[in-house]
Amino acid sequence: MAAADKLTRWLDLLSALLRRHHGAVFADLRRDVPGYLAGDVDEQSVMRTFERDKDELRAFGVAIETLADSDGGESRYRLLPNAFYLPFLALCESRIVPALEVRTIARPQGIGYQSLPVLAITPDECLTLRRAAARVRALGNPMLDADAAAAIAKLERDVGLLPITEPLTASVKVQTTTFEVLGDALSARQRVTFGYASMGRNRTSMRTVEPYGLVFLTGHWYLVAHDADQQALRQFRVNRISKPKYNATKKQPDYVIPATFDLEAHAASRQAWELGDEEAVSVVVAFRGESGQVLQGMQLGEAASLPSQRQFRVRRRDPFLRWVLTFGGDASIVSPDEWRVGWRALLQDTLVAHRTAPATAQLTPYPTEVA
């Protein structure tokens, strides 16, 4: 009840403040907040409760002002609507929004809407927002994916449908029949055999696997399955799978998915360089500094020979090299030698492409122990 009482008190206080554009003294606010009118509580206790409510609301970002009286009188408290409400979003047709068009935008009917400021969004800005959401969703992180989708949905609720000039995610098309066969085999818990084009080995080979699930990551559909030949869990990109087959007439399942396997957790834990069925290569990376990005990157790897180094099991080389590059000089590949050479070549190509002095200045030498 205490938490519910506090929330009710806060809402009453906010309502009382928003109704008074020029502020109000505590005595005026108290009449509008039943929580401050308890007859069996002394005045000092009520005032302490008000001060605590005010401080807690301010900590949440509510911009309650205290207006001191120049004559030494009682302070007034004010909360301006344009400092509390988000602006009303509107879509304008012009590439450059004229002031007149903003003033003529019709706001929704209802208390408070007519006084809200307007934030006009142009078609170009809408396209930028959609592209930004697409880039976020293409990262393959389920939580970021949900946040980006929710953000677009909220924007479209105010401004209408955003221009659909490109898909929200740039994905590779998957054959419908392939997807259906894999889904049916998964539902029936039957082993499935298919041809798989391995980019690393540059050949197509036959695989027999036990499907555990289908997930969408980094713009691609993957089949997560137990490889019967390798006796290991693998991720197969669905668009590289050809002619999948399973015994549809068999009534008994071929396998049981372990109770400890969680498809959502498995997908969330996969990095782009971990996907695929290529043989994993052990890559050692040296980090320096204590930035948030460095500390987060070190958490993804395993312990190596030095405290400043981490070891990664990498199946896809290019995504991993690009990831190391994002540390801007705070990460360097130590081994294998051919990976270190590839990383340095990518680094030089990037510098040439940007041709900026500041980027070159960031390349300070690493300590001898990790060179």
Domain membership of residue 12 (yes or no) is: yes
Q: Residue 361: give the domain boundaries.
A: 281-370
10, part of any domain: yes
Domain final position from 244, 274, 304: 274
Given a cut of 50, whether residue 167 has pLDDT beyond it is no
Same-domain pairing of 181 and 270: yes
Domain boundary, last residue among 63, 84, 105: 84
- Give the pLDDT band (50/70/90) at residue 229: confident
Which bin fits 356, alpha (ψ -120 to 50), beta or left (φ > 0)? beta
Number of domains within the chain: 4
| Cα separation, 279 vs 175, whole angstroms | 26
Report the range of poorest mean pLDDT among 94-98, 285-289, 302-306.
94-98
50 and 92 co-located in one domain: no
Q: Which of 94, 130, 112 is nearest to 21 (CA)?
A: 112
Q: Is residue 170 part of a domain?
A: no
Together in a domain, 291 and 349:
yes
Whether residues 211 and 147 fall in one domain: no
Instruction: Taking residues 156-184, report their average pLDDT.
Output: 64
Q: Is 237 in contact with 190 (CB distance < 8 Å)?
A: no
Domain boundary among 49, 84, 119: 84
Classify residue 164: in a domain, yes or no: no
Query: Does residue 132 share a domain with residue 75?
Result: no
Residues 68 and 97 reside in one and the same domain:
no
> What's the CA gap between 11 and 61, in Å, rounded?
15
Is it true that the peptide bond before 336 is cis, omega within 30 degrees of 0?
yes
Given a cut of 80, is residue 46 above it in pLDDT?
A: yes
The CATH number of whichever domain residue 26 belongs to comes to 1.10.10
Q: Is residue 61, in this structure, part of any structural domain at all? A: yes
**pLDDT of res. 110:** 58
User: Is residue 310 situated within a structural domain?
Assistant: yes
pLDDT digits (tens, 9 = 90+) for 125-161: 777 777 788 777 776 666 777 788 887 777 776 666 5
One domain for residues 50 and 35: yes
- Clarify whether residues 13 and 60 are in a common domain: yes
Judgement on whether residues 304 and 270 belong to the same structural domain of the protein: no
